[in-house]
Amino acid sequence: MPTLGVNIDHIATIRQARRTVEPDPIAGAVLAELGGADGITVHLREDRRHIQERDVRLLRQIVRTHLNLEMAATDEMVAIALDIKPDYVTLVPERREEVTTEGGLDVAGQINRIGEVVDQLQSADIPVSLFIDAESAQIEASRTLQAKFIELHTGRYAEAKNETSRQQELDLLAAGCEQAIKAGLRINAGHGLTYWNVHPVACLPGMEELNIGHTIISRAVLVGMERAVQEMKLAMRGNQ
Ligand code: PXP
């Protein structure tokens, strides 16, 4: 079975909705690790819509498992990564107007720029993972750049409208895994995975780590609701 990297961005999304101090993603990371998370993942976006630089710096100090920093291949982000030194970096495409990361990184189409960033990070002992669609040209380009990992984008699989297209997307992911294994690349996957669709992806050959966020934070909000309301009733009576 692969390991689980818990993406805690959306704890920060709730905090940023009020520009306040709660809920703190740092506390969320500690609790995720207590629950068995094998890694903590955050995406520091250019627009800082959820995770802040302060979060990444504190996570670097408190994470006991490993810290995966998702980021765009920009000079600003490379400088931050070289300074904070996460356990690995996942390079993702980023557009300001998107709700979440859409599509994989076009490694084949930007081979020089992505190659520069892979070299800068890996020569500082920060392994790089490239978040790509399970397409032959992207896997081949990732091999050429000697990235340590690829992260296969599972969004199309997750969004498939029926069983036939879900199976087709799963077959593409499986073919991608086989090509990546032959190329000597280590394999992660993520995006859009839920409690209902995760199992077949977890069973793909060579799969090392799944990075999962939204569905876990969504469930945490709901499973914590009864207790949170009970605790507010106590606080109203002066018991915090
Ligand atoms: N992997 C990558 C590269 C991502 O960009 C994201 C979303 O931030 C995830 C995994 C997690 O996706 P989700 O929140 O849909 O589980």
Residue 232 Cα to ligand 1 midpoint, Å, equals 32
Task: Work out the percent of the chain whose per-residue pLDDT is above 70.
Answer: 98
Tell me if 184 sits within 8 A of 150, measured CB to CB. Answer: no
The residue among 231, 219, 176 whose CA lies nearest residue 195 is: 219
Tell me, what's the pLDDT at 239? 85
Count, in order, helices (H) and strands (E) of the chain: 11, 8
User: What percent of the chain is modeled with pLDDT above 90?
Assistant: 95
Query: Encoding tokens for residue 139?
Result: 């896997």
- Of all protein residues, whose CA lies closest to atom 12 belonging to ligand 1? 191
Q: Which residue has the tokens 């993702």?
A: 92
Comparing 10-19, 69-78, 91-100, the range with the smallest average pLDDT is 91-100
Domain count of the chain? 1
Mean pLDDT of 136-155: 98
Instruction: State residue 187 phi and psi, 5-degree precision.
Output: -120, 125
Q: Answer whether residue 196 shows pLDDT above 90.
A: yes
Q: Is the pLDDT of residue 231 over 90?
A: yes
Overall average pLDDT of the 92-105 stretch: 80
User: Considering the chain, what is the average pLDDT of its residues?
Assistant: 96
Higher confidence at residue 201 or residue 239? 201
Predicted confidence at residue 102, as pLDDT, reads 74
Q: What is the mean pLDDT of residues 170-179?
A: 98
- pLDDT recorded at residue 96: 66
Here the CATH number for the domain that contains residue 101 is: 3.20.20.70
pLDDT at 229: 98
What is the domain extent for residue 165? 3-236
Helix (H) or strand (E) holding 212: strand 207-212
For tokens 């000597």, the residue is 184
Give me the mean pLDDT over the 144-170 stretch. Answer: 98
193 lines ligand 1 (CB under 6 A): yes
Asked if the model's pLDDT at residue 98 lies above 80, the reply is no
CA distance 10 to 43: 10
Q: Is 191 a catalytic residue?
A: yes
Place of tokens 């599509």: 103
Q: Report yes or no: 92 and 68 within 8 Å, Cβ to Cβ.
A: no
- From the alpha carbon of 43, which atom of ligand 1 is closest? 8
Of 227, 195, 196, 191, which Cα lies nearest the Cα of 210? 191
Amino acid letter for position 43: H
Q: For ligand 1, what atom is nearest to the CA of residue 188?
A: 1
In the structure encoding, which two tokens stand for residue 174, read together? 């499986």
3-state secondary structure of 6: strand
Sign, CA torsion 20/80/117/154: negative
Each residue's pLDDT tens digit, 84-96: 999 999 999 987 6
